[in-house]
Amino acid sequence: MLVVNNIEVVYSNVILVLRGVSLEVGDGDIVALLGGNGAGKSTTLKAISGLLTTELGKVTHGDIRFDGHRIDNGDPEDIARMGIVQVMEGRRLFPHLSVEENMLVGTEASGGRAEERSGLEMVYHYFPKLYDLRSKTSGYLSGGEQQMMVIGRALMAAPKLMLLDEPSLGLAPLLVEEIFEILGRINREQKTSVLLVEQNAMAALSIATHGYVMENGRAVMDDTAERLKENEDIKEFYLGLSQVGQRKSYRMVKHYKRRKRWL
C-alpha cells in the first residue's frame, strides 16, 4: 500500500532531517515506527501526509508511493482525499466545537468516501464514551477523551491508511492499553492500515505486525514485531532492562555503542 523509498527531507533548504529513510506498510498492516525524541519519526509522517509543505520542508531525494501513485511533496488535501489521514501529536482539536462537530470535520477530508451518519455510528461503536459526550465542548474533555475524539475524527474520513503520532502521549497506562486495544480492533474489523509513531515501544509492538527503529534521521533496524519485542537492544534502550533484568539508566548507554550494534 505505502512504499517510502530512501527519502531525504530538508527544512528551509538548509537543515537535513531525514537521511535515506525507507519503509513499507502493507494492506491491512499495523507498522510501528519507534525512536527517541528528534529521531525523525514525526517528520517521516509529515512527508507521507504532505504536511511538510506547511513547515518549509521538502523531500529532496527518493520517493513515496501510495497505491502505486507517487505522492512525495504532494498537496496535503489531495493526499487526504486518496485515503491517508494523519492524527497529529498533541491532538489538535477545535476546542470551541462540540465533540460531534469536531468529528464531523473529518468527513471533509474524505473526498466523498465517508457518510456522516454511518461514520458517527462506527465511531460510537468503538468509543461508546464519546456518544455520551457528543454535545460537550471538546476543550473541556480529559486528555484521554480528546485522544479518542481525534482518532474518531480520523475514522470519519474513511481512511485507507491512518498515521498516528504519539497517541499514548500524556495518558495513564490503563488508558493507553484501552486505546491500543481499540486500534487493533479497528485494524482487524475495518481493514484500516496503520503507521504508528510511538515512544512506548512495547505498547506499539503489542498490536503491530512489523516495526522500524529510527535514530538521527535514519532507520537503523527493522523486523517483525514479535522479534523486536524479544530483541535485547530494544529491551535495554526502551525499557532500561539489561539481559539479566537489572534496570539501567538510559543516560549510561553510550550513543556510539548503540549505533555500532544496530548497524
pLDDT above 70 covers a percentage of the chain that reads: 88
Greater model confidence, 111 or 232: 232
Taking the C-alpha atoms of residue 196 and residue 129, their distance in angstroms, rounded to an integer, is: 23
Give the whole-angstrom CA distance, residue 145 versus residue 143.
Answer: 5
pLDDT, tens digit (0-9, with 9 covering 90-100), for 29-39: 999 999 888 89
Taking alpha carbons only, the member of 50, 47, 51, 53 closest to residue 17 is 47
- What's the average model confidence in pLDDT over 150-162? 93
**DSSP letter, residue 241:** B
Specify the pairing of strand 69-70 against strand 57-66. Answer: antiparallel
Residue 224's pLDDT band, with cuts at 50, 70 and 90, is: very high
DSSP category for residue 141: S
The rounded mean pLDDT for the chain is: 88
Contact 4, 59 (CB under 8 A): no
The grid coordinates of residue 49 equal 501526509
Cα–Cα dist 118/246, whole Å: 50
Q: Identify the pLDDT of residue 41.
A: 94
How confident is residue 169, by pLDDT bands cut at 50, 70 and 90? confident
CB 161 within 8 A of CB 66: yes
Decide if pLDDT at 182 tops 90. yes
Structural domains in the chain, CATH included, are 2-92+159-228 (3.40.50.300), 231-263 (no CATH)
Q: How confident is the model at residue 250 (pLDDT cuts 50, 70, 90)?
A: very low
pLDDT at 233 over 50: yes
* pLDDT tens-digit series, residues 57-68: 999 999 999 999
Q: Is the predicted pLDDT of residue 251 greater than 60, yes or no?
A: no
C-alpha cell at 239: 525499557
How many other C-beta atoms lie within 10 A of the C-beta of residue 190? 15
pLDDT digits (tens, 9 = 90+) for 128-145: 999 999 999 999 999 999
Mean pLDDT of 10-36: 94
b/e 113-148 (16+ beta carbons within 10 angstroms → b): ebeeeebbebbbebbeebeebbeeebeebeebbbbb
**Residue 133: strand, helix, or coil:** coil
Q: Edge-to-edge, what's the strand order for the sheet holding 84-87? A: 84-87, 161-165, 193-198, 30-34, 210-215, 218-224
pLDDT of 256 higher than 50: no
